[in-house]
Structure 1
Amino acid sequence: MELESSLRERLIDVGVDLVTTEGTASLGLREIARRAGVSHGAPRRYFPTHHALLSAIARRGFAELGSRIEATANEEASPRDRLQALARTYLRYASEHRGMFELMFRHDLLDSQAAPSDVPPLRDSTLPLFAHLVELVACHAAERRAVGSLETPAVTAAALWANLHGTAQLWAWGSLQLVLEAASPAVSGDDPAEPLDRLVMAVLDAHLGPEGA
């Protein structure tokens, strides 16, 4: 059993390395098996489907992203400031781990439910991140005593997340840099953190209202 667990972890390790260095297109079963030094049929002994192996790889990404968010969280800060810190961490992770970031949210490629009996399903890694976002949005609304909102905190959080995720993807593809430079050269400077910080503030203002309002 210990040997099987070790081999399973080795396959995941290889997958994590591949997606980090070469992107999602590199995550074929045969290539993972080859780099792990096992037969091309060996992964099937530990992962019944390709999607199951991809899910195990993605789970590592959620664990790291969750650790980063936890490390930057300040329980004494306001909900909005905590959302801002979360957003910056999210965008930084997307920039530094582009392949993993793209895999983690491809639930059309992942198996959120099925998993070996001793491994939690991927949904148990995915949903807490969103639940944390919903909690912060709800706390922000309560702090502002926002009443009569047209949307629930979950819908607002989903829209905020979609905006933030779109920002991460368009930045990775170079699209935002292109349009910002064309619209206002002063916005797109040498330091990529500056326009990204301004985009984070714009995303928060769009979904939470202007700061201090």
Structure 2
Amino acid sequence: MAGTTRDRLVAAGVQIVDEHGFREVGVRAVAARVGVSHGAPRRYFATLDALLAAIAAEGIADLDAVLRPAIDAGIPAAAVAYWRFARDRPGMFELIFRHDVLAGAGESLRTTTGAWFRALVAETGDAEHALACWSSVHGLCVLAATRVPDAVGVVIDEATVRRVAENVGGS
């Protein structure tokens, strides 16, 4: 791992989140992965929540990199990009929407997610319509991640996500 110690700590945290989920991130686990003392992360992050916010900022940047161009291609394309991120990186997807954990941790994470919503509003022309679309697609992602639909024999896949986005959000 190249970069500053802070960068290496965040990168290690991202790896842990992607491999095991955000609940497995701890100061000692991150330090051990980087090969520094367990006290080293405290030089860069006053609290575990501050470390989690820095990790979440990386995840939000990654989601932003795939979501922004997709939004420009229309709501169904954006919905599928969102779905793929949630499917491929469920631990990070959960972390970046845990505002209860991340609030006040110093990363201004809602700035980026707010821009996504404003882009959806611009695409739909109506804030309530945009909210209905985002909440529908986000709900599908959460349901699929928790495997709730398996219990009732429903499959949530990209085609389902696209249909919901087309019906709720338009094209």
Say yes or no: TM over 0.5: yes
Corresponding residue for residue 89 of structure 1: 81
The share of aligned pairs that are identical, in percent, is 38
Root mean square deviation of aligned Cα? 2.4
| One-letter amino acid matched to 2:36 | V
Corresponding residue for residue 134 of structure 2: 161
CA drift of 1:40 comes to 1.6
Question: Does the aligned pair in 2 maintain the 1:59–1:125 contact within 8 Å?
Answer: no
RCO comparison, higher one (Cα < 8 Å, 6+): 2
Corresponding residue for residue 202 of structure 1: 164
Corresponding residue for residue 173 of structure 1: 146
CA drift of 1:113 comes to 5.9
Considering fraction of residues, name the structure with more helix: 2
- The structure number with the bigger radius of gyration is 1
Equivalent in 39, 50, 54 of residue 56 of structure 1: 54
CA drift of 1:164 comes to 1.2
CA drift of 1:32 comes to 0.9
**Does residue 102 of structure 2 align to residue 110 of structure 1?**
yes
Provide, for residues 81-122 of structure 1, a one-character-per-residue CA deviation record: whole Å limited to 9, x for no partner: x0000001101110000111110100101135624xxxxx32
Structure 1: segments with no counterpart, 5+ residues: 116-120, 139-152, 182-187
Corresponding residue for residue 130 of structure 1: 117
**Number of residue pairs aligned between Structure 1 and Structure 2:** 170
Corresponding residue for residue 92 of structure 2: 100
Structure 2: segments with no counterpart, 5+ residues: none
